[in-house]
Structure 1
Amino acid sequence: MDHLLQVKIGVLIGLLLLTLLFGFIPARLKWFRDIGTEFHHQVLSFISCFAGGVFLAACLLDIIPDYLSDISAELSSQTVQSSFPLPEFIMAAGFFMVLILEKIVLNCREIRGSHDERAPLLTESRNGHVQHGHGAVRGPDLESSGHHVHVDFQAHSPFRSFILFLSLSLHSVFEGLAIGLQSTDSKVLEICAAILIHKSIIVFSLSLKLVQSAVPSAWITAYLFIFALMSPIGIAIGISVMEAQLSAGALIQAVLEGLAAGTFIYITFMEILPHELNSAGNQLLKVIFILVGFSIMAGLMFFLG
């Protein structure tokens, strides 16, 4: 086994273990699951806003630029020339794919007589505050009980959390693929360091969203294990392609990246950001925490990219 292959295998194992470590922090610590004091709700809300900023940066500064770069390069290599904005159309297809799929799921639930997710995305409470729908069993109304913080822990849709997990997992495969296809030790370690730092923050945020969506613990564990495996799977695919001297199917990869980008746009702007920004209380602080999460991810991408 040559040295480059040993480095790639070491990176594969390191990414797997560290992703699991950061993912299980919010999934296993009881503090993130408890419904406690008003201060507890505020802290969780601010952490959720920070996570929203992280996902916004991942969407605008990582996933979409990577996809547009890959699809443009592949279309150029295939000498495909058109005035039609094909890359953007593929992203829109991913967006509408999730939108249509979600509405089909909700419609099927309505037909079965289930009211689990029949609440509209935005509803108005008794005291006039805007609330976020999609909850099977709603937690206590903190505002009407004398508290002035609205954090509905059931408000996040489990379906949307699953789509978030799916789009991030697909993106992680492509990140791992980029590592597996490198031909020098230094480049492998450089890309790995960048992926590891920002993926640690993302998997923490993903785990927090799963917890807030009231996804059962067993499913959260399964999601995190699968998500942690995605980058190693991508690395393994890249190693296999390098060893076998095969074509990577770059065009198919680019199209899948575009669909994943479209799904991530949907989740970022229809689920993650609206939940906190449409709930009452500490609006300015929430925006600040979103900016902090965005800025940290942007800084990491600037210095490590």
Structure 2
Amino acid sequence: MQNFLTEMVSASVLQYILAFAMFVVTAVIGIVPLFIVRVMKRSQNENEQGYLSYLTCFAGGVFLATCFLDIIPHINEGYEELMATYDLNWHFAYPQFVTCCGFFFIYFIEEFTTFVFGNGQQPGHGHSHSMSQRGQKVGNSEFNGGLSPGMPKERKGSVNITNLRMEEASTWVVSDEKSNILKSLTFAVAMSFHSLLEGFALGVQDTTGRIYALFFSLLLHKSVEAFSVGLQISMANSNKIKTVLATILIYSLMAPMGSIIGSVLQNSETNIYKDCAILLLESLAAGTFIYVTFIEIMASEKSNDFNHLKQLLWIIIGFALVTLMQIFFGHEHSHEGHGAHGNGTDDGHAHHHHGR
């Protein structure tokens, strides 16, 4: 009994140390893209603006793989465990339905904020990225390329067309700045919840071997993810350093927090409401991932003038990187994480049944 307690104490201390290490590494890697984006946006070089677009596509590939190879399988396993644990007989695909609701919810929030902050004007989509990638070069030949989807075409005899475009561009940028902050925060909340659950899986491990194995696979996974999150947030708010830093720090705190919560709740009894709530929130997070990947990143990048084949290549590189990590490290992460989560549920129930 004493040895078991000693093992539990040492495992808990180890989890706190590793949680802090994960926070530091994730925060540092998440902040790096801010400096890359700021340097590249200052550049007037078209090639460097292109690199920024390709980096964004890389992030899109990372999110695509994270969503379909990590989060959705995680949700499906959790749903099966929930049905098995509580002897449920549901025939409807509730997790997928909630994921779609999450997608529509984020879509609605973005369009609603654009409508409110844009004084009722709804410019065509792709505005934030095409504007930012052009470096907001207003008044030169590239201005039309960046804004052509939502701009009035030049009419014969219209003398003040340039002034009109200037005014429209300035209101556009202002509305974008406000809506981008909300979009970034919404996105960060979904990403953070995903991190919280990953950290929770680490927190419920009870042997040092398992903790180390899961920690290193999580750290590698989180590093790539943190870079992509940092890039996405920095692209939207590169001139608001405090907003970017605060968002990335909150995101970085989530996995360690999840780890600590998991460690504390390891022996607590779970119930159907708690398990359903976790599944519901994770399914909503998956919907956000799908929206960000396809609408915010891929559709926006496809609408600009950079090399689309190179963009596709960078999406595939990002996707392949996460795929390889899932193949080599994800098996243990998903099964042990799920096993831990499931075991926490099943063992908790078994333990309490035996107690009775």
For residue 271 of structure 1, the aligned residue among 296, 305, 308 is: 296
Does 101-110 or 183-192 show the bigger shift?
101-110
In structure 2, the residue corresponding to 1:304 is in which secondary structure? helix
Write the mapping of 1:200-239 to structure 2, written as runs, cut at 5 A. Answer: 200-214=223-237, 216-239=240-263
Question: Is 1:7 the counterpart of 2:30 in the alignment?
Answer: no
Asked if 1 retains the 8 angstrom alpha-carbon contact of 2:203 and 2:262, the reply is yes
Deviation string 1:170-196 (CA, Å, 9 cap, x unpaired) is: 100000000001111111111111111
Write the mapping of 1:1-305 to structure 2, written as runs, cut at 5 A. Answer: 2-29=9-36, 30-110=38-118, 113=119, 118-121=122-125, 139-140=136-137, 144-145=141-142, 158=180, 159-214=182-237, 216-242=240-266, 245-247=268-270, 249-305=274-330
TM-score relative to the length of structure 2: 0.74
Asked if 2 retains the 8 angstrom alpha-carbon contact of 1:56 and 1:294, the reply is yes
More helix per residue: 2
Shift of 1:38: 1.5
Pick closer, same or farther for the CA change 1:187–1:96 going to 2, 3 Å.
Answer: same
Asked if 2 retains the 8 angstrom alpha-carbon contact of 1:94 and 1:258, the reply is yes
Paired with 2:295 and 2:21, the residues of 1 have a C-alpha distance of 33
Does 282-291 or 89-98 show the bigger shift?
89-98
Counterpart of 1:126 in structure 2 is none
Deviation string 1:250-303 (CA, Å, 9 cap, x unpaired) is: 221111111111121111111111111221231111111110111011001111
Paired with 2:144 and 2:323, the residues of 1 have a C-alpha distance of 35
Asked if 1 retains the 8 angstrom alpha-carbon contact of 2:195 and 2:255, the reply is yes
Paired with 1:81 and 1:68, the residues of 2 have a C-alpha distance of 15
Paired with 1:195 and 1:27, the residues of 2 have a C-alpha distance of 23
Shift of 1:132: 6.2
In structure 2, the residue corresponding to 1:293 is in which secondary structure? helix
Question: Size of the alignment, in residue pairs?
Answer: 289
Paired with 1:45 and 1:102, the residues of 2 have a C-alpha distance of 21
Asked if 1 retains the 8 angstrom alpha-carbon contact of 2:125 and 2:300, the reply is no
Which one-letter code corresponds to 1:227 in the other structure?
A: Y
Does 94-103 or 201-210 show the bigger shift?
94-103
TM-score relative to the length of structure 1: 0.85
Shift of 1:105: 2.1
Percent identity between the two aligned chains: 27
Asked if 1 retains the 8 angstrom alpha-carbon contact of 2:29 and 2:227, the reply is yes
Pick closer, same or farther for the CA change 1:12–1:273 going to 2, 3 Å.
Answer: same
Does 91-100 or 196-205 show the bigger shift?
91-100
Asked if 1 retains the 8 angstrom alpha-carbon contact of 2:237 and 2:244, the reply is no
Name the Cα RMSD after superposition: 2.9
Shift of 1:149: 9.7
In structure 2, the residue corresponding to 1:82 is in which secondary structure? coil
Shift of 1:162: 2.5
Which one-letter code corresponds to 2:31 in the other structure?
A: F
Asked if 1 retains the 8 angstrom alpha-carbon contact of 2:82 and 2:275, the reply is yes
Shift of 1:32: 4.3
Pick closer, same or farther for the CA change 1:13–1:142 going to 2, 3 Å.
Answer: farther
Pick closer, same or farther for the CA change 1:103–1:10 going to 2, 3 Å.
Answer: same
Shift of 1:39: 1.9
Pick closer, same or farther for the CA change 1:120–1:148 going to 2, 3 Å.
Answer: closer
Deviation string 1:199-242 (CA, Å, 9 cap, x unpaired) is: 11111111111121125110111001101100011011111112
Pick closer, same or farther for the CA change 1:103–1:46 going to 2, 3 Å.
Answer: closer
Shift of 1:67: 1.3
Deviation string 1:98-121 (CA, Å, 9 cap, x unpaired) is: 2222233233235xx375xx3111
Shift of 1:246: 3.5
